[in-house]
Amino acid sequence: MKKNLFLLLTFLLVQTLTFAQNRKTKKEKSKEVATVITDSAQWRKEHHIINRDSAYANPRIGIQKLIGGNLRFIEGKSIRPRQDAETIKKLDKGQQPFATIVACSDSRVPNEMIFDQGFGDLFIIRTAGQVSAAASYGSIEFAALKLKTKLIVVLGHTECGAVAAAVARPEDVPGHIVTLINEIKPAVAKSSHLPGDPVNNAVRQNVIDQVNELRDLEPILHKKYTNGEILIVGAVYDIHTGKVEFLQETLLNLPQPKTAK
C-alpha cells in the first residue's frame, strides 16, 4: 500500500511539473509572438508609431508623434508606452521629454492619456485656461534650456470653463479667478464676430494668442524660436470626441533651423 501511495504521489508531482512547464512555454511563446507583431512594420504603421529619439531631436517629428499618439487614443489602439517599472528606474538618472505641453488644468484632459505617451515623454505646465504667468514662463524656459526640449504645444480644449467665464463676464468674481478671466478677455473680443459657438471660438483664439505671446517672450523663447531651435504651436482638444486638432494658424511659416556658417 505504501508503494502504491508513493507511486501515486510521484505521478501527481510529475503531472504538476509538466503542467507548469507547458504553461511557462505557452507564456514564452505568446511573448515571442507579441514581440514579433509589435516590431513589424505593418503593426508600427497601423499604430502610428514614431521613433522617440527622432521626436526629441526634431520638433516637427515631435508634432507627428503627438498626432500619432492621439490617433491611437481615439481609435482605441493605445499602447501606453514607457509606463513600466523599468522605465521608472531608467528615469532616475534624468529626463528628456520630447514636448512641453502648456495645458489647461481641466481634469477631463489628461495629457499623457490623450497623446498615448509615458513617463518622461511630456513636460506639462497646467493652469486654468492655460493662462501663463512668471512661474509658467520659467518652467517652459527650464525645459527649453536645461532639458533641451524643442517642441512647445499650447493645448486648449472645447467647453473650457475659464474661457466660458470670460465670455459671460460675471460680476464680483471671487479671489484671483478674475486674473484668469482678464487674461482671456482679449481673445473673446477678437472672436466675438465669428459665427458658431462663442466659447469654442474664443478657445481657439486664446490658444493662438498664447502661442504668439510665447513666441515673443524675451529673453529665451523668442530667440530660440526665431533661430529655429524650437517650435511653438497650438492645438485644441475636443472633449466630446477625444481628438486633438493642431491649429493651422500656428503651423504656417514656422522657422527653419539656422545652419552654421
Nearest to 184 by CA among 114, 251, 242, 173: 173
Find the mean pLDDT for residues 221-237: 98
The residues, any chain, with a CB within 8 Å of residue 67's CB and separated by 6 or more, are: 48, 244, 246
Instruction: State the pLDDT confidence band at 12, using cuts at 50, 70 and 90.
Output: low
| Average pLDDT of the chain, as a whole number | 89
- CA-CA distance, 251 to 104, in Å (whole number)? 21
Each residue's pLDDT tens digit, 130-185? 999 999 999 999 999 999 999 999 999 999 999 999 999 888 889 999 999 999 99
Whether 260 shows a pLDDT value over 60: the answer reads no
Using DSSP's 3-state secondary structure scheme, residue 235 falls into strand
- CA-CA distance, 114 to 66, in Å (whole number)? 9
C-alpha cell at 132: 501663463
Bond from prior residue into 219 cis (ω within 30 degrees of 0)? yes
Using DSSP's 3-state secondary structure scheme, residue 81 falls into coil
Percent of the chain at pLDDT > 70 equals 84
More confident residue, 42 or 114: 114
The torsion defined by the Cα of 5, 6, 7 and 8, in degrees rounded to 10, comes to 50
Whether 20 shows a pLDDT value over 60: the answer reads no
C-alpha cell at 74: 481615439
Three-state secondary structure of 2-45? HHHHHHHHHHHHHHHHHHHHHHHHHHHHHHHHHHHHHHCHHHHH
Each residue's pLDDT tens digit, 24-44? 555 454 444 444 456 788 999
Nearest to 219 by CA among 127, 150, 137, 124: 137
Nearest to 217 by CA among 234, 232, 195, 200: 232
